[in-house]
Amino acid sequence: METVRVHSGMETDPFLDGMYLPNITRSDILNEITTIQKTLGLSKQMCATKIQAEYHDRIETASRNIRSHIGAKNKNK
């Protein structure tokens, strides 16, 4: 995987200044989110306790939110 240097002076979070970040596309992220969502769909049947189901639901909600954010940015491009 290629990396991209985050240069000083760019409008980024100061924490990221000087770090190397992977060069990935929105499609790459959406593909990974799809994998997470499909795996969650299969694992939902295995939630034996209420706590497990709550964790599952939180992950599912977070992955939907990420997909929504990435998709919205894609449409605004």
Average pLDDT over residues 56-74: 86
pTM equals 0.59
Is 73 part of a structural domain of the chain?
A: yes
Is 5 part of a structural domain of the chain?
A: no
* Structural domains in the chain (count): 1
Q: Residues 7-30: pLDDT tens digits? A: 444 455 555 555 555 677 888 889
**Phi, psi for residue 21 in degrees, rounded to 5:** -115, 145
Q: DSSP states of the chain as a string?
A: --EEE--TTSSS-GGGTT-EEE---HHHHHHHHHHHHHHHHHHGGG--SHHHHHHHHHHHHHHHHHHHHHHHHHHH-
Is 55 part of a structural domain of the chain?
A: yes
Distance linking the first and last C-alpha atoms of the chain: 24
Average pLDDT over residues 52-77: 82
Mean of pLDDT over the chain:
75
Domain that holds residue 31: 25-77
How far apart are the C-alpha atoms of 57 and 36, rounded to whole Å? 12
Is 56 part of a structural domain of the chain?
A: yes
Average pLDDT over residues 27-50: 89
